[in-house]
């Protein structure tokens, strides 16, 4: 008789109930693949009486998630509560401290405390796994830390937030309003408990910092991710971008910067313009996609569902199966002590084309002021569109696409224009992804 792997689940929301459903539905197949059955020994969440659409009566209930980490009959704790600190972190610390494996989908906690938890797991000789934390159901952590393990990777980028991608692509396809589409993404279980994390780019920044650590063998530097979300993007930008041959996507990009003879870690999350014939332009809905460039493998593209109960549960259970097979692995693809401390790249090195959007008062001299600022900052204009006001508010949209050049020149042009009384709103700058 083979001993089961006994797991405890903390958090029974979108992902937690997805995990219960998956383990119950595919129990026999999972046992054959894992070499032994996966048994849910105990569960915990905030509200015991809530109807979650799954029968939990057969599992022991603990009111306090921390109690799961103390149970003798538990081999692996699965943390699906969320939040960078609080109950999730104390549960994670206790589980590892008590010699239990830890599986989590919590990118906020890993981005902030991943190094501490990885070191603790290594010392305790237990597994720490978080495949679901980056790009949901896509096995990108496995792909990079196992499939691409032999490569030097110096660039990784992609679409890392399902909620933002759902909002941007749905607005683009249907012309629907931002708030309305966000509510739909929340109903579908894509958004974080606090959706500000999604729309302000913080969730994507959590994921990017984890990916960068795995891809480059660098220490996590979430604090150094330059982050901007999608809230400043207006329906008019989506329309303008489309007329220029682009779509707008929230892109996370991490790169090793070797300019000026040093080595720096560049990490940025921002809305970008993506040419319509680029593979990332066709990533719609809650789909995520990650591109990684390795010195021997070339370019890899991972694509699939980045959020939602089924795909996320699939990644969580894959981690549990790995542990059942006796695979511990290294949380960040190498021992925590081997991760290099790479300082953030100096700003001002980036080079490329940009899209600049101004909302201005419709009066003489506005265009001249904008083009003069560009000239004085050394920004070369490739195209400029002025859109007639659609209402009688007396405001006009001016969209500028620049030639390739240093981003620092665009920043300087924005500095020159800052505070101008011709501007009716804060200008928006989006970088254009090269083909
Ligand atoms: N929803 C998604 O598509 C994805 C979510 N994740 C991550 O998975 C984790 C869980 O996310 P969801 O299931 O969407 O969240 P959720 O909000 O649907 O579920 C959270 C669960 O944790 C429980 N909980 C919250 N605070 C608690 C506390 N103080 N004590 C005890 N239980 C508590 C709640 O009762 C609920 O059962 C988060 O870390 C999230 O970032 C990762 C990838 C995709
Ligand atoms: N809120 C996240 C869920 C998955 O990580 C997202 O929208 O991508
Ligand atoms: Na994943």
Work out whether strand 60-61 and strand 128-129 pair parallel, antiparallel, or are unpaired: unpaired
Please indicate, yes or no, whether residues 93 and 219 belong to a single structural domain of this protein: no
> Is there a domain that residue 235 lies in?
yes
Please indicate, yes or no, whether residues 281 and 162 belong to a single structural domain of this protein: yes
pLDDT higher than 70, residue 134 = yes
Please indicate, yes or no, whether residues 57 and 178 belong to a single structural domain of this protein: no
| 389 confidence band (pLDDT: 50, 70, 90) | low
State in Å: Cα 136 to ligand 1 middle.
13
Please indicate, yes or no, whether residues 299 and 358 belong to a single structural domain of this protein: no
Domain end call among 70, 99, 133? 133
pLDDT in tens, 236-256: 999 999 999 999 999 999 999
Q: How far is CA 157 from CA 96, 122, 291, 423, in A?
A: 31, 28, 5, 33
- Express as a percent the part of the chain with pLDDT over 90: 95
Residue numbers annotated as active site: 207
Atom 43 of ligand 1, residue of closest alpha carbon: 136
pLDDT in tens, 6-16: 999 999 999 99
HSE toward the beta carbon, residue 264, CA cutoff 13 A: 18
pLDDT higher than 90, residue 111 = yes
Mean pLDDT over 34-63 rounds to 97
Our separate counts of H helices and E strands in the chain read: 13, 17
* 309 Cβ inside 6 Å of ligand 2: no
Domain end call among 99, 133, 167? 133
Contact, 109 vs 135, CB < 8 A?
Answer: no
Atom 35 of ligand 1, residue of closest alpha carbon: 46
Contact, 232 vs 215, CB < 8 A?
Answer: no
DSSP at 3 = P
pLDDT in tens, 75-98: 999 999 999 999 999 999 999 999
Please indicate, yes or no, whether residues 87 and 167 belong to a single structural domain of this protein: no
End-to-end CA distance of the chain: 56
Phi, psi values for residue 250, rounded to 5°:
-80, 115
Please indicate, yes or no, whether residues 16 and 58 belong to a single structural domain of this protein: yes
Task: Confirm whether residue 14 is marked as ligand binding.
Answer: yes
Query: Mutate which of 8, 9, 13, 139 to test ligand 1's pocket (most atoms within 8 Å of Cβ)?
Result: 13
Contact, 405 vs 351, CB < 8 A?
Answer: yes
Query: Mutate which of 15, 54, 188 to test ligand 1's pocket (most atoms within 8 Å of Cβ)?
Result: 15
Q: pTM of the entire structure?
A: 0.97
In angstroms, the CA 122 to CA 126 distance is: 6
Work out whether strand 395-402 and strand 351-361 pair parallel, antiparallel, or are unpaired: antiparallel
Domain end call among 275, 306, 337? 306
**pLDDT attached to residue 388:** 72
CATH number for the domain that contains residue 408: 3.30.70.260
> Is there a domain that residue 213 lies in?
yes
> Is there a domain that residue 326 lies in?
no
Please indicate, yes or no, whether residues 245 and 275 belong to a single structural domain of this protein: yes
Contact, 159 vs 250, CB < 8 A?
Answer: yes
> By residue range, what is the domain housing residue 69?
5-133
Closest by CA to 13, choosing from 58, 46, 56, is 46
Mean pLDDT over 2-23 rounds to 98
Please indicate, yes or no, whether residues 169 and 301 belong to a single structural domain of this protein: yes
> Is there a domain that residue 344 lies in?
no
CA gyration radius, the chain: 24
Strand segments, DSSP code E, in 226-307 are 226-227, 246-257, 264-275, 287-294, 298-305
Please indicate, yes or no, whether residues 86 and 219 belong to a single structural domain of this protein: no
Please indicate, yes or no, whether residues 152 and 227 belong to a single structural domain of this protein: yes
State in Å: Cα 277 to ligand 3 middle.
26
CATH number for the domain that contains residue 77: 3.40.50.720
Contact, 248 vs 241, CB < 8 A?
Answer: yes
> Is there a domain that residue 342 lies in?
no
In angstroms, the CA 23 to CA 433 distance is: 40
Please indicate, yes or no, whether residues 291 and 171 belong to a single structural domain of this protein: yes
Ligand nearest to the CA of 306: 2
**Apex CA 107: angle with CA 105 and CA 112, to 5°?**
135
Closest atom, ligand 2, to C-alpha of 185: 7
Atom 4 of ligand 2, residue of closest alpha carbon: 307
> Is there a domain that residue 337 lies in?
no
**pLDDT attached to residue 107:** 98
* 191 Cβ inside 6 Å of ligand 2: yes
**pLDDT attached to residue 346:** 85
> Is there a domain that residue 155 lies in?
yes
pLDDT in tens, 147-186: 999 999 999 999 999 999 999 999 999 999 999 999 999 9
pLDDT higher than 80, residue 391 = no
Helices (H), 287-381: 309-324, 366-377
> Is there a domain that residue 77 lies in?
yes
Task: Confirm whether residue 13 is marked as ligand binding.
Answer: yes
Q: Which two tokens stand for residue 313?
A: 């549960």
> What's the structural domain count of the chain?
3
Please indicate, yes or no, whether residues 367 and 280 belong to a single structural domain of this protein: no
CATH number for the domain that contains residue 237: 3.30.360.10
State in Å: Cα 264 to ligand 3 middle.
26
């Amino acid at each position: 008789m083979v001993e089961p792997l006994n797991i405890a689940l903390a958090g029974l929301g979108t992902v937690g109930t997805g995990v219960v459903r998956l383990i119950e539905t595919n129990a026999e197949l999972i046992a054959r693949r894992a070499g032994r059955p996966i048994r849910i020994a105990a569960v915990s969440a905030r509200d015991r009486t809530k109807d979650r659409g799954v029968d939990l009566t057969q599992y022991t209930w603990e009111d306090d998630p921390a109690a799961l980490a103390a149970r003798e009959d538990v081999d692996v704790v699965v943390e699906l509560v969320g939040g960078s600190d609080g109950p999730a972190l104390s549960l994670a610390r206790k589980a590892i401290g008590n010699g239990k494996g830890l599986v989590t989908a919590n990118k906020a906690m890993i981005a902030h405390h991943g190094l501490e938890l990885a070191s603790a797991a290594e010392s305790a000789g237990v597994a720490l796994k978080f495949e679901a934390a980056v790009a949901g159901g896509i096995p990108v952590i496995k792909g990079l830390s196992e499939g691409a393990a032999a490569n030097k990777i110096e660039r990784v980028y992609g679409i890392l937030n399902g909620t933002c991608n759902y909002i941007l692509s749905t607005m683009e396809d249907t012309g629907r309003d931002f708030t309305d589409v966000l509510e739909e993404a929340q109903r579908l279980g894509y958004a974080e408990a606090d959706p500000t994390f999604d729309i302000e780019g913080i969730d994507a920044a959590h994921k990017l910092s984890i990916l960068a650590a795995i891809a480059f063998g660098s220490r996590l530097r979430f604090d150094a991710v330059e982050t901007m979300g999608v809230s400043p993007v207006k329906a008019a930008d989506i329309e303008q971008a489309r007329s220029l041959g682009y779509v707008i996507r929230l892109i996370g990009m991490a790169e090793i910067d070797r300019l000026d003879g040093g080595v720096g870690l560049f990490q940025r999350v921002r809305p970008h313009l993506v040419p319509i014939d680029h593979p990332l332009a066709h990533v719609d809905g809650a789909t995520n996609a990650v591109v990684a460039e390795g010195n021997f493998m070339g370019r890899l593209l991972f694509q699939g569902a980045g959020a939602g109960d089924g795909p996320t549960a699939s990644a969580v259970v894959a981690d549990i199966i790995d542990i059942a097979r006796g695979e511990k692995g290294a949380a960040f693809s190498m021992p925590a002590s081997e991760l290099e401390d790479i300082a953030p790249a100096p700003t001002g090195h980036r080079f490329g084309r940009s899209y600049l959007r101004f909302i201005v008062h419709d009066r003489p001299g506005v265009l001249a002021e904008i083009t003069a600022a560009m000239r004085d900052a050394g920004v070369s204009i490739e195209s400029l569109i002025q859109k007639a006001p659609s209402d009688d508010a007396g405001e006009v949209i001016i969209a500028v696409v620049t030639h390739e050049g240093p981003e620092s020149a665009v920043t300087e042009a924005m500095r020159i224009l800052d505070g101008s009384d011709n501007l009716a709103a804060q200008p928006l700058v989006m970088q254009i992804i090269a083909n």
